[in-house]
Structure 1
Amino acid sequence: MTASRTIPFIVATIFMDAVGFGIIMPVLPQLVMEVGRIDLPDAIEVGAWIGLVMAVATFFGSPLLGNLSDRFGRRRVLLLALAGLAADYILLTVVDTLPWLFIARALSGFFGGSYATAQAAIADVTRPEERARNFGFVGAAFGIGFVAGPVIGGFLGEIGPRTPFVAAAVLAAANMLYGLFIFPETLPAERRRAFDWRRANPLGAWRAMRALAGMESAALVLLLWQIASLVYPMTWSFYCIAQLGWTPGMIGASLAAVGVMIAIGQTFVVGPAVARFGERDAATFGLLVAVAIFVGFAFVRTTWGAFLLLVPTALQAPVQPALMAMMSRRASADTQGEVQGISAMVMGFGQLVAPLLLTGTMAWFTGRSAPVHFPGAAFLVAAFFGLLAAAMLRRLPRAARTEDSEMPAQIPPSVTV
């Protein structure tokens, strides 16, 4: 019964979070330019620093929220984070200076660390051999949310850059209320452990990670992939304006197309790929596809070419859920929250360096002093880190015999109710 109520709620939560996130993306460049009273090249640079601040907040928030969920349960922590996101979106509707915009995005990063708690809740009620697929359903929910979110955001953005934040606040509040009445606790009291501040911080999480066999190497692969994949959320809106000359409406349409492909990939590619090839080989294939797409975006100059490159993004879908499942296998029942917090912390660390590597590169090649105007340069950086991730993944030993075990061919009833 717990699984039949938990997985649908987590899927719905990620869906509504994705809608809220997607609503905002098309208007972020305009909001930065409006609040800072700056032009596009300067807004790209400010966007890099905003991304850095969000990453710092996620880096510190993820291990804290993960450990708190191991002590107090998933329900309390997740509902608190959802309420925090609703308050943050409300703040974004009224900010009128860059410092307040930075504060608001820092809150987004901190409460966004609750994604680890959601993943831990799935691990609580799912057998190890099914986790990659169920994590894939979470990814599908994110993709479907992206279908609706950017379209709504692009439309509302034509009204004004603040309007999408009102819609995002309403969605986050509705999500929290839904969980308040529906979401059951997935971590029984007997499986909880005492909260320890020494483990609920980045340094303590790093020590805990190194104590688990194979976790450090798996986390490094996740870090490299995180840096590469962040090229989309951190540069896409700016890239579309600088390289393709798109409007907020067109940016929203492109993000909706991305969402469609993510949903298709997570729903129809992840399960069969992991069942046939195992988590490691499925993730390797997805990484190589992603690298090829990154190179394509670096040089594409036409709208039809950009949309054509979005089609194979469905094939890179196994990367994230497979890596998350490989890390989850290395955790015990009472440390799932901590390990998922570690994975979120690793991704947060990726967000710390990605703005300098990705947005910083784009800002340089679109600035007034750039030797050549090349908005797609950040995608070449992403391709480099994608190749590193694939190389490291091939050296990663298999965690257990179950990693490549056959997975059920049908979606479990818990995710269809």
Structure 2
Amino acid sequence: MKRPSLAIIWLTVFLDLVGFGIVVPLVPLYGREFGAKSWVLGLIIASFSAFQFICAPWWGRWSDRVGRRPVLLLSTAGAAVSYVLFALSSGLRDSALALLLLGVSRAFAGACGGNITVAQAYIADITPPAERARRMGLIGMAFGLGFIFGPILGGISLKQWGLSGPGWMAAALCTVNFLLAWFILAESRRSGPIPSVQRPHWAQYWHTLRTPRVGLLVMVFFLATFAFSCFESTLPLVVSDNFGLDLTHNGEAAATVVFLFAYCGILGALMQGMAVGRLVSRWGEVRLILVSLVCTACSLSMLPFIRGQGLLEWSVLGSSQGLGWWALLGALGLLSVGSSLTRPPLFGLLSNLTHEHEQGATFGVAQGMGSLARILGPIFATTTLHILPPLPYLVCSGLLLGTAVILGLRWAGSEPGVAPAGSR
């Protein structure tokens, strides 16, 4: 394994996610500042995932043909441009034009969002099959750390340089990312003749989803992402209602929710970076995915029923009022462990089941389905939450348990470890 290349690709993903984490939490704030109606703001937020759903398979398939390095460079450059547009939108006096540029920046960022797809294909190129799940775990760790440090840097730059600061900082990080990849990152794909795969863009989805086992794993990823996005989009509302917090006018209450997300991110990053390799060696990819789905389902079934009082403070945690907070932290811990253990073994197994010349295309379809889940999940969750608060959590829990049963039956009697590369 090429350790320098692995370190650079890890840093590439980390910086990419830091830039993403700087900007994403601020999009609703900017939309409100520019006078966006709720449906317009929803379209702007969804535009990133929508364009990533459209373009991710194309990035992956193109990296299979021309190599990982040029696609990473182009995708990173595109992300930098999108953040420049984001920064420029804050300086426009015309609110309608500012909203338009904000929407274009998010759509363009989604269209250029091929880094993760290609990084996973890069990892598959330089890693033996038995080690892929562990290396995918390191990519997941970069995800978690990026989402932790990104919002922190976004808040600092917003305070220091105003509304345009976060966009310029994210663009600067992308520029550093581009220079690292340009001067240090080597091409990972082996030279030689590449089988000509001439499929229309949308046919790549159909080809991947109908492939035995590969299609099932992609759907598992879709449902796991759908469930997590439902949780992510409604946790502030659930905590506000169940613990009596005023998130709009109470800064300490809002900080509590930020802490809860950071708590989940730190636990997830630690699990993916330190535990995935050992657990895959002991249980195999499929069993680990099953455990992760069950853990996530159990935690989701508990979360909407946990209630308490007061802010999340040491004085409260040490009293009888803190029981609800301890229960919430326990459920969130179980969810963080479960959700963090889904992606690395799943993508490791997906890589081992895919021909080496189709790694990028397959990962692109998986990422595209994940983007679709991030569009549909929040819509479903916020709609059903108003009908019956526990409903989105219970539905997602049931979906994950059903998925675990189907996956277990499909792999029953087979080895839980890695499959030979290229098997179908």
- TM-score range for the pair, normalised by the shorter chain length: 0.7 to 0.9
Contact persistence 2:284–2:416 (CA under 8 A): no
1:171: how far off?
Answer: 1.2
Q: Which has the greater radius of gyration?
A: 2
Cα distance in structure 2, aligned partners of 1:361 and 1:55:
21
Select the residue among 325, 332, 338 that pairs with 1:310. Answer: 332
1:8: how far off?
Answer: 0.8
Correspondence for 2:354: 331
1:180: how far off?
Answer: 0.8
Correspondence for 1:134: 135
Contact persistence 1:140–1:266 (CA under 8 A): yes
Contact persistence 1:85–1:111 (CA under 8 A): yes
Correspondence for 2:147: 146
Correspondence for 1:350: 373
Correspondence for 1:81: 75
Cα distance in structure 2, aligned partners of 1:78 and 1:400:
36
Matches of residues 58-73 of structure 1 in structure 2 within 5 Å?
Answer: 58-73=52-67
Correspondence for 1:35: 34
Contact persistence 2:209–2:216 (CA under 8 A): no
Partner amino acid, structure 1, of 2:332: L
CA RMSD of aligned residues (A): 2.9
Contact persistence 1:147–1:257 (CA under 8 A): no
1:46–1:321 distance in 2 versus 1, CA, 3 Å:
farther
Correspondence for 2:92: none
Instruction: Give 5+ residue unaligned stretches, structure 1.
Output: 366-370, 406-417
Correspondence for 1:276: 282
Q: Which range moves more in the overlay, 394-403 or 163-172?
A: 394-403
TM-score, normalised by the number of residues in structure 2: 0.81
1:121: how far off?
Answer: 0.4
1:139: how far off?
Answer: 0.5
Q: Which range moves more in the overlay, 148-157 or 8-17?
A: 148-157
Contact persistence 1:146–1:260 (CA under 8 A): no
Query: Does 2:385 correspond to 1:382?
Result: no
Cα distance in structure 1, aligned partners of 2:257 and 2:25:
6
1:128–1:278 distance in 2 versus 1, CA, 3 Å:
same
Query: Does 2:32 correspond to 1:20?
Result: no
Instruction: Give 5+ residue unaligned stretches, structure 2.
Output: 90-94, 313-324, 420-424
- How many corresponding residue pairs? 387
Select the residue among 165, 168, 172 that pairs with 1:166. Answer: 168
1:261–1:157 distance in 2 versus 1, CA, 3 Å:
farther
1:269: how far off?
Answer: 2.3
Correspondence for 1:91: 85
TM-score, normalised by the number of residues in structure 1: 0.82
Contact persistence 1:135–1:321 (CA under 8 A): yes
Matches of residues 222-241 of structure 1 in structure 2 within 5 Å?
Answer: 222-232=221-231, 234-235=233-234
Correspondence for 1:117: 118
Contact persistence 1:274–1:318 (CA under 8 A): no
1:232: how far off?
Answer: 5.0
Percent pairwise identity: 28
Correspondence for 1:298: 304
Correspondence for 2:316: none
Contact persistence 2:300–2:335 (CA under 8 A): no
1:148–1:126 distance in 2 versus 1, CA, 3 Å:
same
Cα distance in structure 1, aligned partners of 2:232 and 2:217:
23
Correspondence for 1:411: none
